[in-house]
Structure 1
Amino acid sequence: MQRALQILQKYWHHDTFRPIQDTIIQSVLEGNDTFGLLPTGGGKSLCFQVPAMVNDGLCLVISPLVALMKDQVNNLQSRDIKAIALTGAIKADELINLLDNCQFGNYKFLYLSPERLEQDWVLDRIKALPISLIAIDEAHCVSQWGHDFRPSYLKIKNLKSNFPKIPFVALTASATPQVKDDIIALLGLENPKVFQQSFARNNLGYFIIPAEDKIYKLNQILQKNPESAIIYVRNRKNCHEYASHLEVLGHKTTFYHAGLSVKEKENNMNSWMRDEKTVMIATSAFGMGIDKPNVKTVIHINLPENLESYYQEAGRAGRNGEKAFAILISSPSDIIMAESQFIAVLPDTIFLKDVFIKLCNYFRIAYGEGINEEFSFNLNQFCSYYKLPILKTYNALQFLNRQSIISLSQEFSEKAQVQFLIESKEVIRYSSLNPDDEPIVSTILRTYPGIYDLQTNINTDFIAKKSNSTEAKVLILLEKLQKMEIIDYFSQKNESKITFLEVREDDRTINRISKHLEKQNLVKKNQLQSVVNYVSNKDTCKSKMLLQYFGETIANDCGVCSYCSNKNTKSYNSEEIRNKIVQLLTENPMNSRALIETLHIEESEILKVLKQLLEHDMIGINTKNQYIIK
């Protein structure tokens, strides 16, 4: 281990390993198959990077995300460590050259997706490489009960026959006991050493806060805790809306989502990391590789898809060991919205078959043909042609991709980026002078509220439909506005590539994989139900609930979460609250917010008593929406 510590100090400039890191590394160096469960912030990557640097040879790293691979490769290269990632966008000729580099160029790390292992010629080339360690990152993807199942992970086990004496190390930040057992069995780990760090975060308080007006509640929380914060929202539009609202209220905000350019992401991230901006408002696209120690508060505005994701995102608070808060602001409509966002868009077998048949017909593939045929593909145009819901169709195509029925070469992208360069009043003036253009311009402005502030990806097909126009007319108008210097317009011509990996057999193809789809849908429904239970339960410590979900049992409540805080707070009966409200209203008219802030009693209790007082005609409401004594 002395050599491992020297490498840690030389390349990563740390003097000691984090808890469990050293024991995992020791196990790997001893040649054992090893499983490590390190919750977010535990430093998983070092558990294979350090032993790979100790040993001669090449470390093969199997990872599910292109962005994650690129991030780790860039990080290694910045430390003068030779690493390569074989992503899906790399063409065969370039791939051959990169594999040659791995064989003869003294590289230490080769990152690739599990789907690459399904290419026989790639696997043959890998067999000839001096592999010293095989690392499986995000290992929960191997389990159908995991929150991100990838069928191609099941084939990693086949590497055991090619590298029988090479140790495997499987790592994940989130796995229930069932998923942990699945990982060990499905990867074929032999007598593995198992290491698991507790999911308990003693310095982190988990809070469920009910609120109808989430902006108002956010402002309260941020005023009380003005240090660095992350606010997770549902989509890109929410990023801009919440940023605008909070800026008006005096908070220094920035935002992060997948629609920003690389430069914008970098600038926004740096301003937050340097504490020039205090509040980062982000979608779930934000988080990979984020290790900012002084984040005081992580706030979720909407229900997350599963508790695994929630735990990881919430865990970005308090990494410096100081007291921190993970807050989920909930309202009665959240469950319905979450079901609409996560469950209603899941394709069933009938929808999946319909999409697959339409996809084959779209590219004129005859029954029994199509294998290895490749086409350019535009999701928006495909969905428009067949009148299919975009997100549900996207999920169906992603499932076909994960089942290796088709291959999608890259993520779908919108066709245009637009930013308005003139003030809103000038845009209104233009629209009044050009009434034929007004419907398209107005639709763009209504749909993308942040379009004055930055380059914004827009869906031109969607704009055409909403404005009762055609996509061609939208594109012509955008070019016209650019020439007039009203907008900055960049057209994205890159479309996805879709490859059919099997012959077309319709029923036979879909029926063979339908059981996996049904199981996946069941997993997602159960996971969302666990989130609903977590939010709705008012009788159990929140920290204890999270630990139980991940298979840990503790005897004592945490003492700091919303349940524990409410339990320790003085309770009031309705009569006490009523008397306090009447006393305050006798002195001055007050609205409900003022009453809540003055009395420091739970909002729901005050609103319930106010309703009773109104029903009994003891109070009324004046023209300023304030309560008054009658």
Structure 2
Amino acid sequence: MEDFRQILTRYWGYPEFRPLQLEIIEAVASGKDTLGLMPTGGGKSITFQIYSLAHEGICVVVTPLIALMKDQVENLNRKGIKALAVHSGMSAREIKLTLDNAVWGNYKFLYVSPERLNSQRFLERLEQMNVNLLTVDEAHCISQWGYDFRPSYLNIVEVRKLLPTVKVLALTATATPKVADDIQDKLGFKEKNLLKISFQRENLSYLVRHVENKTGYLLDTLQKVKGSGVVYVRNRKATREVAIELRKNGVSANYYHAGLSNAIRSARQDDWLNGRTRVIVATNAFGMGIDKPNVRFVIHIDSPDSLEAYYQEAGRAGRDGKKSAAVLLYNNADTTKLKKHITVSFPDIDNIKRIYDSLCNYFQVAVGHGKGMVHEFSLQGFAQAYKFQQAMVYNSLKILQRQAYLEFTEQVDSPSRVYFPISRDELYKFQVANAKLDDFIKLLLRSYTGLFSGYVAIDEELLSKRTGLDGDQVYNYLKHLRQSKVIDYVPRSQTPFIYFTKERVPVDRLKISKENYDLRKKDYIEKIEAVIHYATDSATCRSQILLNYFGETDAPACGTCDICKAKNTLALSDYEFETISKRVKKLIEKPCSYESLLFKLKGDQQKMREVIKWLLDNKKIIYRVDNLLEWND
């Protein structure tokens, strides 16, 4: 077995591991199921990749993020490490060939999306593989209380039954103590084994700015501060509007969202990564798998729906360890918007049933049929066809997914692929009989390798340049070769997918459980309230609020957030401030006058006055109409 550090240096060029990476690898190597909790950007993927490279066999990696899956496969292949992926964006023939290669092709990694886990072909091939590790990425998805629960993750326990001696490494960037316990239970850990780094980011200043004119504040800030950063907004339209406004005012900026083509997204991402663009304005589609160390600021114009999401997105700043800022712009309208998300995110159950019925009709799925079927899906086209609001469709699909009726995958930008299913002798005979196609076939074989062993991504535009043919002629040649059964040609597509995990049921038999509606809605409300509390609390260190949310209840105040900086001007220690604040809150459980409150507070009167003034200025205590003071929760 090759030394873990040697593998790290050989393939990644790093002399040492980041914090917790080696501990996780060694825990799995010692035979323990392990849950690794590492903040975003901490290098989670290296843990299972290095463990697997040090052992014979293949590592099976379950992940719902198809774009990230494809990136990791490409990165591993560039390093000379053989890796494959199986997901719903692939044809049945592609999936069969990929699984065959996983069994007999000496590959080290097989990435698989969760909805494929219960397919008969996958389970049959899995038993034939020499699996050295089962990795569950984005492991919070297996928990009913995780912020992105996926019922298909529950199939992992069945997979474990086929691999009784194989250990599980579960990884996630964000999990509350409740979710961490649930992950280990759902994955069948024989004993609890959680390894985690503190969520504290000492170099990151968390700031909340209460402003009405957010764009004006953003412009003013970007003209004062240096370095590159990310500005997060909620919708695609806003990414473009904000980026244009920044450019008008001399800020190098561009926008990014999932609706852009893969080529445009890649180009804009590269421009930002390489410093040609200073600011990227994006939806939450941006950032996953991107490791730019010198991000000096992350600014949220719109609040995410959970502190898990906020922590992940804000945490993209300052990965190089240098001082950076995470800024949330907030006003009273945001509280109203966040509460409105509750209604939007949980449509009436009758509407959910209507959308399910319409979806099945849209794809012409008969009652009792459809299980395992995959369909390309345009949310916009479906919504227009049935006159539904897009937000209602999207959130209904998420609830139907939690109920395990279907899987709604992210948008997948899949390049064109070609595979030669015939032997070289058969191909030669075809070339002799079809001289007009001979040059084109030879060009294909010269341009790409591996065409006889698997599906290879091709570029029709490149083939057009090399042949002198126009795009339509290249497409027609490829289509003709496919019809002649010489190649299997899968044209490029860019679309989400619907995968039916169950047969269609009559709408009157469609069940939405209390766990997947009422309890999830209650949990969602608590997450929204946690975000509002973070944004509006004017007495508690921002870092402490975040750390407490993730179960770190004894963290010290950071000293750098807006709350701590304001307290520092009082020349009081955190302990003194908190002690006096708690006494004030207890004393005005029954409203009283300023003079009466000050009289009841024993000790240094100057310090008491300073704390009361601060609490008044920050609206933690307020004057009632009768001029008495009361606590303002």
TM-score class, shorter? 0.7 to 0.9
3-state SS, counterpart of residue 543 of structure 2: helix
Match of 2:534 in 1: 534
Is the 1:349–1:514 contact (alpha carbons within 8 Å) kept by the matching residues of 2? Answer: no
Which is further off, 191-200 or 147-156?
191-200
Shift of 1:124: 1.4
Task: Write out aligned runs for 1:182-201 (5 A).
Answer: 182-201=182-201
AA in 2 matched with 1:344: V
Structure 1: 5+ residue runs without aligned partners?
Answer: 414-491, 572-601, 607-630
Q: Does 1:252 align with 2:266?
A: no
Structural mapping, 1:375-414, within 5 Å? 378-408=378-408, 411=411
Answer whether contact 1:378 1:412 (CA < 8 A) is retained. Answer: no
1:223-261 per-residue CA deviation (whole Å, 9 max, x = no partner) reads: 221211111112221111111211222211122211222
Distance 1:373 1:20, change over 3 A: closer
The code of the aligned residue for 2:110 comes to: L
Q: Which residue of 2 aligns with 1:563?
A: 563
Contact 1:37 1:196 (C-alpha < 8 Å) held by counterparts: yes
CA contact (8 A) 1:356 1:506 kept: no
Q: How does 1:82-161 map to 2 (within 5 A)?
A: 82-161=82-161
d(CA) in 1 for partners of 2:104, 2:373: 33
Alignment of 1:436-585 (within 5 A): 498=498, 500-506=500-506, 509-511=509-511, 513=513, 515-569=515-569
**Distance in 2 (alpha carbons) for counterparts of 1:374 and 1:51:** 34
Q: Secondary structure at the match of 1:528?
A: helix
1:302 alignment partner in structure 2: 302
Contact 1:352 1:510 in 2 (8 A): no
Aligned to 1:457: none
Instruction: Give the C-alpha shift of residue 75 in structure 1.
Output: 1.4
Closer, same or farther in 2 for the Cα pair 1:378/1:2, shift >3 Å?
Answer: closer
Equivalence for 2:328? 328
Report the CA distance shift for 1:369/1:118 in structure 2 as closer, same or farther (over 3 A): closer
Hey, what does 1:33 align to over in structure 2? 33
Kindly indicate whether the alpha-carbon contact (under 8 Å) linking 2:298 and 2:317 is maintained by their aligned counterparts in 1: yes
**1:299-351 Cα distance to aligned partner (Å, 9 max, x none):** 00011111011101111111111111100011211122233346424224222
User: One-letter code of the match for 1:112?
Assistant: V
Correspondence 1:317 to 2:355:
no
Sort the Cα spacing of 1:361 and 1:103 in 2 relative to 1 into closer, same or farther, 3 A: closer
Provide the rounded CA distance (Å) in 1 between the counterparts of 2:377 and 2:564: 53
CA contact (8 A) 2:538 2:563 kept: yes
- Please give the alpha-carbon distance, in whole angstroms, between the structure 2 residues aligned to 1:337 and 1:87: 35
User: Secondary structure of 1:207's match?
Assistant: strand
1:56 matched to 2:56? The reply is yes
* Contact persistence 1:348–1:518 (CA under 8 A): no
How far does the alpha carbon of each residue in 1:29-83 deviate from its partner, in whole angstroms, 9 at most, with x for none? 2221111100112111111110000000000000011112111111111211100
Deviation per residue, 1:4-44 (Å, 9 max, x gap): 00000000000000111111111112221111100112111
Deviations 1:152-178 (A, max 9, x none): 111211222211111110110000000
Distance 1:499 1:180 in 2: 28
**In structure 1, C-alpha distance between the alignment counterparts of 2:253 and 2:22, rounded to whole Å:** 38
Q: Call closer, same or farther: CA 1:54–1:343 in 2, change over 3 Å.
A: farther
The whole-number CA distance in structure 1 between the counterparts of 2:270 and 2:24 is: 33
- For residues 227 and 367 of structure 1, do their structure 2 counterparts lie closer, same or farther at Cα, with a shift above 3 Å needed? closer
1:340 equivalent in alignment to 2:340: yes
Distance 1:327 1:498, change over 3 A: closer
- After superposition, the CA RMSD in angstroms is 2.7
Q: Is 265-274 or 197-206 further displaced after alignment? A: 265-274
Judging changes above 3 Å, is the alpha-carbon distance between structure 1 residues 286 and 176 closer, same or farther for their aligned structure 2 residues? same
8 A contact 1:211–1:330 mirrored in 2: yes
> Does the aligned pair in 1 maintain the 2:299–2:328 contact within 8 Å?
yes
Gaps of 5+ in 2: 414-491, 572-613, 619-633
The answer to whether the Cα contact below 8 Å between 1:349 and 1:510 also exists between their aligned partners in 2 is no
The CA deviation at 1:361 is: 4.5
Residue 279 of structure 1: CA displacement? 1.3
Judging changes above 3 Å, is the alpha-carbon distance between structure 1 residues 366 and 294 closer, same or farther for their aligned structure 2 residues? closer
Answer with 147-156 or 356-365: which moved more.
356-365
Identify if the C-alpha distance between structure 1 residues 373 and 124 changes in structure 2 by more than 3 Å, giving closer, same or farther. Answer: closer
Which position in structure 2 is the counterpart of 1:81? 81
The amino acid of 1:210's aligned partner reads: H
Q: Distance in 1 between matches of 2:386 and 2:69?
A: 35
Distance 2:178 2:568 in 1: 35
Matched with 2:440 is none
1:344 aligned counterpart, secondary structure: helix
Paired with 2:352 and 2:368, the residues of 1 have a C-alpha distance of 19
Q: Aligned-pair distance for 1:407?
A: 4.8
1:394-449 Cα shifts (integer Å, max 9, x gaps): 22124324544235577499xxxxxxxxxxxxxxxxxxxxxxxxxxxxxxxxxxxx
Residue 363 (structure 1) shift: 5.3
Question: What is the TM-score when the length of structure 2 is the normalising length?
Answer: 0.74
Are residues 227 and 342 of structure 1, via their aligned partners in 2, closer, same or farther at CA, if it must alter by over 3 Å? Answer: farther
Which amino acid in structure 2 is aligned with residue 40 of structure 1? T
Compute the displacement of 1:525 (Å).
Answer: 2.0
SS of 1:111's partner is strand
For 1:349, the equivalent position in structure 2 comes to 349
How far 1:357 sits from its partner (Å)? 2.7
User: In 2, are the aligned partners of 1:370 and 1:504 still within 8 Å (CA)?
Assistant: yes
Q: What is the alpha-carbon distance in structure 1 between the residues aligned to residue 412 and residue 33 of structure 2?
A: 38
CA deviation profile, 1:159-214 (whole Å, cap 9, x unmatched): 22211111110110000000000000000012243211000001111000011111
Q: Which amino acid aligns with 1:298?
A: V
SS in 2 for 1:259: coil
Q: Does 1:221 align with 2:217?
A: no
Alpha-carbon spacing, 1:509–1:226, altered in 2? closer, same or farther (3 Å): farther
Give 3-state SS (helix, strand or coil) of 2:304's partner.
coil
CA contact (8 A) 2:39 2:197 kept: yes
What corresponds to 2:441 in structure 1?
Answer: none
Matched residue, 1:284: 284
Q: For the structure 1 residues 114 and 540, does the alpha-carbon distance in structure 2 shift closer, same or farther, using more than 3 Å as the test?
A: same
Residues 380, 390 of structure 2: 8 Å contact kept: yes
CA distance in 2, matches of 1:29, 1:376: 41
Q: Which moved more, 1:7-16 or 1:161-170?
A: 161-170
Moved more, 219-228 or 335-344: 335-344
Residue 275 (structure 2) aligns with: 275
1:435 equivalent in structure 2: none
Residue 215 of structure 1 and its aligned partner are, at CA, apart by 1.6
Relative to structure 1, is the Cα distance of residues 265 and 29 closer, same or farther in structure 2, using a 3 angstrom cutoff? same
DSSP 3-state at the match of 1:515? coil
Give the direction of change, closer, same or farther, for the CA distance of 1:179–1:350 in structure 2 (3 Å limit).
same
Opposite residue 523 of structure 2, the aligned amino acid is V
Q: 2: CA distance between counterparts of 1:259 and 1:494?
A: 9
- 1:417 matched residue in structure 2: none
- In structure 1, give the amino acid aligned to 2:105: G
Q: Equivalent residue of 2:511, what SS?
A: helix
Task: After superposition, give the CA deviation of every residue in 1:549-602 in whole Å (9 maximum; x if it has no partner).
Answer: 00002353111101111222369xxxxxxxxxxxxxxxxxxxxxxxxxxxxxx9
